Structure 1
Amino acid sequence: MSNVHQFNSKDLILEKSCDWISAIDRGLTDDEKEQFKLWMMQSTAHQDAIYELAQLWDELSVLNELSNLFPQHNSAKESKKKWMFSYSIAASLFAALMVCSYLLINLENGYNQELAKVNYTKIYKTKVGEQSTYVLPDGTIVQLNTNSLLEVAYSKGRRQLLLSRGEGRFNVAKDATRPFSVMAGDKSFTALGTVFNVQRNTSSDLELVVTEGKVMITDPSVAVDANDFKDYQLADNSTQKIRKINANIVISGEKAVIEQSVTKPITQLSMGDVQRDLAWQNGMLIFNGEQLSDALNEVSRYTSTRFELSSDALASIKVAGVFKAGDVEGLLESLHTNFSIEHERLGEHVVTLKHHTES
């Protein structure tokens, strides 16, 4: 009977993993370290569950402690993933907390995950300046940015989402029997085992950033069933089947920009590019040489304040810096300090900007 622990269900292993991750985050005693090592040695399922949750948690204390306790656990796969999580510590920590709470509460209440997967529909939305994270019935984690609207419809054979406005990050639970597709404007983004970000600017202007796995871009009329889904997972942009449906495969570390319904050439991103594009997931905005007019348009997504610039020369000034999303006062102070740009408020929601030398 000494080996009964090896036959724990997946749910119980996840529950125990949540407990261990939480304990590691607060700090393990010497006795707890030994108990944890023994528990990890009992099963590869224990090890996989811990490292999967650690990647979601992404708290430096957890990752450092695991590295100290198991220095040999440094596979090429994890090295490849490591950079993907560096930009989202705060967001991932919150998401992992939600996953653990979700698992523990529903296990306690006898939650039936299979029933929840079928005929599940719900609308999620955020206000201007608001960001929220949700866990869907299949374990998919969705983080919505400011002023976003997402409709979710799960059925027995398909997971279909509609991003009517805004931006979302999707950490997709793997399910080879049910494709996961996000429709935005006149494009559809089908997950092939992934973490990806979709920003909808207009119905024909979209941006996709993939940080793990693959995403396939198609027209919404292209239906992807389970059999196709398996084939597409192994495909790339040169595959005949992909070319036949005019699709594009975007892989980890790449970005696709759709302008006027046309997918531009896919670009490879550096870590800095990813951090800038996805800084909103930590409630921040990062600029690195953007024109002031473009930077202010981005800031305006997070606040009711609108900006008026006194000249084209002012609009073309290139700016750089890290700002808290929605922090208009901090931005105005930075512009004054670094560029001698003064501001004047015209009513509650309009700010005019000009150089102090302008009359």
Structure 2
Amino acid sequence: MNNIHQFTSKELILEKASQWISAIDRGLTKEEQEQFKLWMLQSTAHQNAVYELAQLWDDLSVLNELSVLFPNKQPANSKTKPAYVFGMAASIVAALMMCSYLLLNIDSNFNKNLAKVNYTKIYKTKVGEQATYVLPDGTIVQLNTNSSLEVAYSQGRRQLLLSRGEGRFNVAKDASRPFSVMAGDKSFTALGTVFNVQRNTSSDLELVVTEGKVMITDPSVAVNADDFKAYQQADNNNHEIRQINANIVISGEKAIIEQSVTKPITQLSVDDVQRDLAWQNGMLIFNGEQLVDALNEVSRYTATRFELSSDELARIKVAGVFKAGDVAGLLESLQNNFSIEHERLGEHVVSLKYQKKS
């Protein structure tokens, strides 16, 4: 008997659209392309939801993929065009405006060419806030809630320090300057890649690679340009990789580091990747987590903390998709699906317990 309870939501279309956007950014298989086309053609509401989210997405590859899957087949002088064509145009314009805005907001008081070589800055997000930044070399960084990232570029190296939180890194290729993110007591060096790092504590970290390779090392291991070229071709059986006690993680894999020890690297399914990276669409996806763990994840995006009345309540397994920080929607779903009532004990504390039977 399945003891995982499915949440219901009033915004299932938007939630499904966010999953498709995430999948497009990762790259659709031929089978997924057909499934996506069928889903899009089922209703204009599906199309509108996808293009609405595409306007907010930080990667133009999504827009490019959409234009390939749904090209404008109407003659240039046609008076009537499908709704999604106009949505596509709006999405492209919005995305270009977003990119322009981000680029203009990079400090304009320094020489841009010099900044590509020597650049230092600290980026932060508040609890519940997410932000995207374009670095001088073209690298795109997306920070999750309550994160802090220090960037230090020099002539021979691009070094970043994630002192708190979580970030997605779409790294601009530059073989002459390796790109490394330090978090806790580990360093993550991009070998031509897009990857996500979550820092839970100084010794507990998570890495998800969605493109290319990432090498995990101790921060004391300095990777120069010559090393970088060799490591790009290496795998975990390589002598040099073993010698520096490193781990290579490739696209579609996840590494969990607990108490400074890298656990065996795992291969992720498409659903696993979407669930781990749903925050990039402002969503949270649960698939069988205990309620206490799900609530801890929700609390990362809000000042609200939850108190559970019993261990039995804490161990309920849940599944569903939610907007990050939507505490009201969460409480409504708990009431409707589990008969769990809530009581506010203060501005930021919510007590949960089973509803009394009348």
Pick the TM interval, shorter chain. Answer: 0.7 to 0.9
Once the two structures are TM-superposed, the CA of residue 348 in structure 1 deviates from its matched residue by 0.6
Asked whether the 8 Å contact 2:287–2:318 carries over to 1, the reply is yes
| Pair 1:300–1:94, CA change in 2 (3 A) | farther
Name 1:225's counterpart in structure 2.
224
- How far apart, CA to CA, are the structure 2 residues paired with 1:102 and 1:345? 39
Name 1:65's counterpart in structure 2.
67
| Pair 1:248–1:152, CA change in 2 (3 A) | same
Name 2:59's counterpart in structure 1.
56
- How far apart, CA to CA, are the structure 1 residues paired with 2:234 and 2:92? 29
Q: So what's the TM-score if we normalise by structure 2?
A: 0.74
- How far apart, CA to CA, are the structure 2 residues paired with 1:92 and 1:318? 40
Once the two structures are TM-superposed, the CA of residue 357 in structure 1 deviates from its matched residue by 3.4
Once the two structures are TM-superposed, the CA of residue 163 in structure 1 deviates from its matched residue by 0.3
- How far apart, CA to CA, are the structure 2 residues paired with 1:68 and 1:263? 42
RMSD: 2.8
Once the two structures are TM-superposed, the CA of residue 56 in structure 1 deviates from its matched residue by 2.6
Equivalent position amino acid for 1:131 in 2: Q
| Pair 1:95–1:312, CA change in 2 (3 A) | farther
- How far apart, CA to CA, are the structure 2 residues paired with 1:127 and 1:105? 19
- How far apart, CA to CA, are the structure 1 residues paired with 2:138 and 2:126? 24
- How far apart, CA to CA, are the structure 2 residues paired with 1:103 and 1:126? 18
Give deviations 1:220-260, integer Å, cap 9, x for gaps: 00010110010000100000000001100000000000000
Question: Structure 1 stretches of 5 or more lacking a match?
Answer: 1-53, 72-90
Give deviations 1:255-287, integer Å, cap 9, x for gaps: 000000000000011111011000000100000
Name 1:355's counterpart in structure 2.
354
Give 1:1-359 correspondences, 5 Å limit. 56-59=59-62, 62-67=64-69, 97-100=97-100, 113-357=112-356
Asked whether the 8 Å contact 2:102–2:133 carries over to 1, the reply is no
Asked whether the 8 Å contact 2:130–2:144 carries over to 1, the reply is yes
- How far apart, CA to CA, are the structure 2 residues paired with 1:302 and 1:105? 25
How many residues are matched? 284
Once the two structures are TM-superposed, the CA of residue 117 in structure 1 deviates from its matched residue by 1.5
- How far apart, CA to CA, are the structure 2 residues paired with 1:358 and 1:258? 44
Question: Structure 2 stretches of 5 or more lacking a match?
Answer: 1-56, 74-90
- How far apart, CA to CA, are the structure 1 residues paired with 2:92 and 2:211? 14
Once the two structures are TM-superposed, the CA of residue 216 in structure 1 deviates from its matched residue by 0.3
Give the match's secondary structure for 1:176.
coil
Once the two structures are TM-superposed, the CA of residue 358 in structure 1 deviates from its matched residue by 8.2
| Pair 1:67–1:322, CA change in 2 (3 A) | closer
Structure 1 ranges of 4+ moved more than 2 A: 62-71, 91-106, 111-114
- How far apart, CA to CA, are the structure 1 residues paired with 2:232 and 2:92? 25
Equivalent position amino acid for 2:68 in 1: L
Equivalent position amino acid for 2:288 in 1: G
Asked whether the 8 Å contact 2:119–2:152 carries over to 1, the reply is yes
- How far apart, CA to CA, are the structure 2 residues paired with 1:231 and 1:358? 67
Give deviations 1:125-165, integer Å, cap 9, x for gaps: 00000000000000000000000000000000000000000
- How far apart, CA to CA, are the structure 2 residues paired with 1:321 and 1:184? 30
| Pair 1:281–1:96, CA change in 2 (3 A) | farther
Asked whether the 8 Å contact 2:58–2:95 carries over to 1, the reply is no
Equivalent position amino acid for 2:300 in 1: R
- How far apart, CA to CA, are the structure 1 residues paired with 2:125 and 2:92? 19
Equivalent position amino acid for 1:290 in 2: E
Once the two structures are TM-superposed, the CA of residue 118 in structure 1 deviates from its matched residue by 2.0
Give deviations 1:167-201, integer Å, cap 9, x for gaps: 00000000000000000000000000010000000
* Identity fraction in percent: 79
